[in-house]
Structure 1
Amino acid sequence: MSLSNQSEAELLQSMQSGDLSALGVLYDRYGEAVYRLALRILGESTEAEDLTQEIFLAFLRDDKYDSNRGSIIVFLLTMTRSRAINRLHQKRSQERLLQRCQRSTPDSTQNNLMDKVSLGEIAEIVREALQELPVNQQEVLKMAYYDGLSQSEITKKLNIPLGTVKTRSRQGLLKLRKLLKDLVD
């Protein structure tokens, strides 16, 4: 019997036994529906194409489909909706971060030699003030501000409780503020 005439259960069985052409048949059956949903949520054809491919590859790799909970198309569409929404959230977060960075970065017209010298001097003053903090506070602040780690990432890296990271960060920032009082005012 040809693969295109097989039921979902038979195609799934074939796919799980290593027959990639079964995935091709599932793609032929459901690819357009997955693509259309992705396009409707994401609004961009290239994004929708990428997500469609990602969905079918994830379906192949992950063994999360349970036939008792519904048909393959329902599973694929649910996965598509979830991942498309995740992509939108990520895209919006990246856009907000970019906007914050652009607002905090001086215009290129203001970026003359004196500004660069001034920023270098300020960076040196901050580095020196940082050296005056206790080592544990320095470590947390350097990881957060120089390495760009979140508090939860610092927690994992240092193997200390999140509350400890927050306390060290807060205390360090308060001490830095006192040390850099003239610079901040």
Structure 2
Amino acid sequence: MTSDSPIPEPVDHFSVTDRDLVQAMRQGQIEALGVLYDRYAKLVYGLALRILSNTEEAEDVAQEVFLSLWHRQTYDPSRGSLSSFLMTMTRSRSIDKLRSRNTGFRFLQRWKGLTREELSSSTPLEQASISERSERVRHALAQLPEAEREILQIAYYEGLSQSEIAQRLNMPLGTVKTRSRQGLLKLRKILQDCV
């Protein structure tokens, strides 16, 4: 395959090397990405699923990995195999997703735990403190855009997962995740002095 020739059409795509496909992809041939996806999608998805234990998140990671391969084109064949590069990228993205998931969950759990602990206290001073903090949280939530506020309220007050929220609100899971993450970041910033 020459540097400016397209991928041979009806030829067995497994006879074309990864290096040739990467070169074709860099020249804008989307078909090359399709062939690479066919070769490595199961591997990428499988690793993401093992790390995340969540099919939707594993699908998101697989999509991110291949989109990054297409858009960023950071793979250097002289530094190792494409499969190793994809596995490293998948592992990194999956761990980032775990950290993001855990950060948001810990933040909500901290507020939920504070509320439960504080409700068991009985002194008037403690009750006043609980009331003040609850008012701060309500005020902070009110400052969020409606879409983000609704998702956080459902997650916190009703305890629904992101998948359940997506189903209830009839919206893509990715949208729920994005709005939840954005809302949590804004809420954390607003409540920074309380946390």
What is the TM-score normalised by the length of structure 1?
0.57
Q: Where does structure 2 lack aligned partners over 5 or more consecutive residues?
A: 1-7, 120-127, 137-185
Q: Where does structure 1 lack aligned partners over 5 or more consecutive residues?
A: 110-114, 124-144, 152-168, 170-185
The 3-state SS of whatever aligns with 1:65 is coil
Q: Do residues 148 (structure 1) and 158 (structure 2) align?
A: no
Larger radius of gyration: 1
Name the counterpart of 1:99.
109
By percentage of residues, which structure has more helix? 1
Name the counterpart of 1:34.
44
Name the counterpart of 2:90.
80
2: CA distance, partners of 1:8 / 1:23: 10
Q: 1:16-75 CA distances to partner (integer Å, 9 max, x unpaired)?
A: 111111101000000000000001000011111111011000111112111111111110
CA RMSD of aligned residues (A): 3.3
Name the counterpart of 1:7.
17
Q: Give 1:105 deviation, angstroms.
A: 4.0
The 3-state SS of whatever aligns with 2:189 is coil
Q: 1:106 to 1:57 in 2, by over 3 A?
A: same
Match of 2:30 among 20, 24, 35: 20
The 3-state SS of whatever aligns with 1:12 is helix
In the TM superposition, structure 1's runs of 4+ consecutive aligned residues that sit over 6 Å from their partners are none
Q: Give 1:149 deviation, angstroms.
A: 6.7
2: CA distance, partners of 1:48 / 1:88: 11
2: CA distance, partners of 1:71 / 1:63: 14
Instruction: Tell me which amino acid in the other structure corresponds to 1:83.
Output: R
Q: 1:146 to 1:92 in 2, by over 3 A?
A: closer
State how many pairs are aligned.
124
What is the TM-score normalised by the length of structure 2?
0.55
Q: Give 1:6 deviation, angstroms.
A: 1.6
